Amino acid sequence: MHIKFFGAAGEVTGSRHYLEGEIKGKKFCFMIDYGMFQGGRDATDKNVESLPFNPADLDFVILTHAHIDHSGLLPRLCAEGFKGTIYCTKATQELLKILLLDSAHIQETDFARADRKNNLGKWRGDLPTVLYTVKQATECLGQLKAYEYGQVFEPIPGIEAHFRNAGHILGSAIAVIDVEQDDKKKRIVSSGDLGMFNRPLMPDPDLIESADVLLVESTYGDRLHRTLQATEDELVEVITETMKHGGNIVMPAFAVGRVQEILLILIGLVRFGRLPHLNIWVDSPMATAATHLTEKYFEDLDNEAQGNFSWFKENHNAIDLKFVADVEESKALNRIKGGAIIISASGMCEAGRIVHHLAWNLPHSQNAIIITGFQAMGTLGRRLVDKATVVKVMGKEVSVKASVHTIGGLSAHADQAGLIKWLKGFKEAPEKVFVIHGESHASTNFAEVIKQELHWANVVTPQKGDLFPC
């Protein structure tokens, strides 16, 4: 059996891991995740590149969760000929109906807008690439098959799989795949994206006791997050100071998971008297839909999240929370001179309504931008994190006079300590460990920590295109 890495190896986005082998003389091949590359000038080239196999030959796809960097190229894979089943959790299936259709809609809209400008001679450079259409995304959804956590299924004879809770976002999963090999089973475990322990919104990641081959993420494998207490303290300080000076707070946030966690944290801070009455606008149709879906899966949240949510339903006047629906209402937010908390997507500030709010709020020193999640290389969010004084937003240069605050403790990814804690759940070292889903320095650093702290010997940091026996 072999594994080949087509993405999220030496980088964070584009999770695509290909496994092939034989069971009783019959060949098989499948993918774990099929995500979109995000950020950087070469992201589009990576997204459109042809892979060295026929999609029609794939037996199935195992999907760990709904975030676009793990699921975002599934419609393209299906359009190119993949007719098999995409296996995921039930919550992931529902989230994909939101995320994939939104992704396709954005692509079609961006192309149409650019094409109109191009026809008027007002567009420079290449037109945006449409990776797939809304129709193709809709057709892809028909190939999903969902299971509960712990429910064993058989994608093909000789392979059994099940999902465990990864604690990252709603429906996120650790994939456990048992492959029949020479009259015994070889267990492949893919961590997907692991959440943090003892954090708001999601329960702790499930611990896995055994694996022969392990794929573990390393997004924050080279650093530690602040404690929840320190994170809340910093949020309180930034919000209090900004409001005192009559400014707005703009929070770019991933629509699925991050927005809901931020809301529950802010609700908790008001609930326990650390912040006064707040005026919050959630300006993302996708985030609105994901928030309503989170309500549906209320019992899947951790106890603290359930408590804050229940309190807010009984004390809804404590926070003026509005979900922005149409574009005109979104534009009206930019007329607010102060006192607003605007939470919007996309999380890396690359597209969507957030770019408009940044264009209006960045040039004013009384405002604050709070970065709430990982920002990939090449993105506008990363340039803000790196303290750029001028950034290009929608083709125009904008001065960065607002204060920019990176609050890493809001991440939905485990930090180095959390990842090590999860790995300690294994009763013995896997035969092979592949450290993936991290920028090269993070993955390399984390691989060394694994060797030193756990004394695991066979730890590899693959690069895009690498092939390994397993």
CA distances from 426 to 101, 208, 209 (A): 38, 6, 4
Residue with tokens 């991440």: 411
Question: Where do you find CATH 3.40.50.10890 in the chain?
Answer: 228-410
pLDDT of 77? 98
pLDDT digits (tens, 9 = 90+) for 454-467: 999 999 999 999 99
The burial of 428, by beta-carbon neighbours within 10 Å (0-12 exposed, 13-18 middle, 19 or more buried), is given as exposed
pLDDT of 162? 98
pLDDT of 132? 98
CA distances from 447 to 189, 197, 217, 455 (A): 17, 21, 11, 11
pLDDT digits (tens, 9 = 90+) for 294-353: 988 888 888 888 999 999 999 989 999 999 988 899 999 999 999 999 999 888 898 889
Q: Once rounded to an integer, what is the mean pLDDT over residues 66-84?
A: 97
Looking at residue 42, the DSSP 8-state letter turns out to be T
Encode burial over 80-105: b for 16+ CB neighbours within 10 A, e otherwise.
Answer: eebebbbbbbbbbbbbbbbbbbbbbe
Q: Helices 440-454 and 416-423 sit at what angle, rounded to 10 degrees?
A: 50
Which amino acid makes up residue 168? H
Give the span between the Cα atoms of 376 and 389, in whole angstroms: 19
Question: Where do you find CATH 3.60.15.10 in the chain?
Answer: 2-223+412-469
Q: Residues 351, 252: contact at Cβ < 8 Å?
A: no
3 state SS for 157-202: CCEEEEEEECCCCCCCEEEEEEEEECCEEEEEEECCCCCCCCCCCC
What is the pTM (predicted TM-score) of this model? 0.90
pLDDT digits (tens, 9 = 90+) for 339-383: 999 999 888 898 889 999 999 999 999 999 999 888 888 889 999
Q: Once rounded to an integer, what is the mean pLDDT over residues 28-53?
A: 92
- Asked whether residue 258 carries a pLDDT value surpassing 90, the answer given is no
Conformation bin of residue 231: beta by default, left when phi > 0, alpha when psi is -120 to 50: alpha
Residue with tokens 């090590």: 420
Q: Residues 345, 254: contact at Cβ < 8 Å?
A: yes
Of all residues in the chain, the percent with pLDDT exceeding 70 is: 100
Q: Once rounded to an integer, what is the mean pLDDT over residues 123-147?
A: 95
Give the span between the Cα atoms of 103 and 120, in whole angstroms: 26
- Asked whether residue 427 carries a pLDDT value surpassing 80, the answer given is yes
Give the span between the Cα atoms of 252 and 370, in whole angstroms: 7
pLDDT of 183? 83
Q: Once rounded to an integer, what is the mean pLDDT over residues 162-182?
A: 96
Give the span between the Cα atoms of 85 and 142, in whole angstroms: 9
Q: Could you tell me the CATH superfamily of domain 2-223+412-469? A: Ribonuclease Z/Hydroxyacylglutathione hydrolase-like (3.60.15.10)
165 band by pLDDT with thresholds 50, 70 and 90: very high
Q: Once rounded to an integer, what is the mean pLDDT over residues 156-179?
A: 97
Q: Once rounded to an integer, what is the mean pLDDT over residues 178-202?
A: 92
Give the span between the Cα atoms of 87 and 192, in whole angstroms: 14
- Asked whether residue 270 carries a pLDDT value surpassing 80, the answer given is yes
- Beta-bridge partner residues of 433: 214, 459
Locate the DSSP E strands across 167-298. 173-181, 184-190, 213-217, 249-252, 278-283
Q: Residues 115, 120, 125, CA angle at the centre, nearest 5°? A: 55
- Asked whether residue 93 carries a pLDDT value surpassing 90, the answer given is yes
pLDDT of 338? 95
- Asked whether residue 48 carries a pLDDT value surpassing 80, the answer given is yes
Class of domain 228-410: alpha beta
Mean pLDDT of the chain: 94
Give the span between the Cα atoms of 264 and 238, in whole angstroms: 17
pLDDT of 250? 97
Give the span between the Cα atoms of 348 and 254, in whole angstroms: 8
